[in-house]
Amino acid sequence: LGAPGLREHFVHGTAAAASFDAVPPSLRAGIMRAVEMAQTGLEPIGMSAASKGRDLLVLLSSTAIGLPLMQRLGVASKVLGFLAIGIVIGPSGFALISDIHWSETLAEAGIIFFLCEMGLELSFDRLKNMRRDVFGLGLAQFSITSALIFVFARTILGFSQVQACILGTALSLSSSAFALQLLDESK
């Protein structure tokens, strides 16, 4: 965006367009950079590197300390332990994480690594032998879970049809990943 384009973007046909031209060029450049960062999702270098590092340290240290503690308390599943740790350090607990959106990015990366690990353990021959279970029962589980959550979200929670559909499919997919991890731990 050039300065005229930026002006049109913000003040589109208002009297404030003339006042934007009165902004000093150095400040105007800063405003344009901020708009560009907002549009592309970028941050200035080092803007929150310290808080991201602190959040990462909190996440790693809490799991390093929390998982053995959960095992001593008799929590059988690592997945349940991770959920409990997340509740304790998250906004509903002690609020130790300052940037919840960045931790969501870390969680997405973790899911990618988890799925990649699952893929490393699969072979085409094994998948071919399990096709009835994987595709038949897996599809049935996904469909039934999605439908039940959809009905619950529509009738009890009052969600729109689109919202209920998104919630149903998202939760049925995450419940599958959760169940796979629990099954893997039970071996």
- Are residues 54 and 153 in contact, defined by beta-carbon separation less than 8 angstroms? no
What one-letter code names the amino acid at 42? L
Tokens found for residue 58: 């909190």
Higher pLDDT, 9 or 147: 147
Claim to verify: residue 141 and residue 183 sit in the same structural domain: yes
Q: Which contacts qualify for 5-10: CB closer than 8 Å, 24 or more apart? A: 6/31, 6/32, 6/35, 9/35
- Predicted TM-score (pTM) of the model is 0.49
- Are residues 79 and 48 in contact, defined by beta-carbon separation less than 8 angstroms? no
Claim to verify: residue 153 and residue 133 sit in the same structural domain: yes
Claim to verify: residue 58 and residue 89 sit in the same structural domain: yes
Q: Name the helix (H) or strand (E) containing 72.
A: helix 49-72
Question: How does pLDDT run across 99-158, given as a tens digit for each residue?
Answer: 788 888 888 888 788 778 878 888 888 878 888 887 888 888 889 999 999 999 999 999
Claim to verify: residue 133 and residue 110 sit in the same structural domain: no
What's the mean pLDDT in 161-173? 89
Claim to verify: residue 58 and residue 106 sit in the same structural domain: yes
- Are residues 55 and 103 in contact, defined by beta-carbon separation less than 8 angstroms? yes
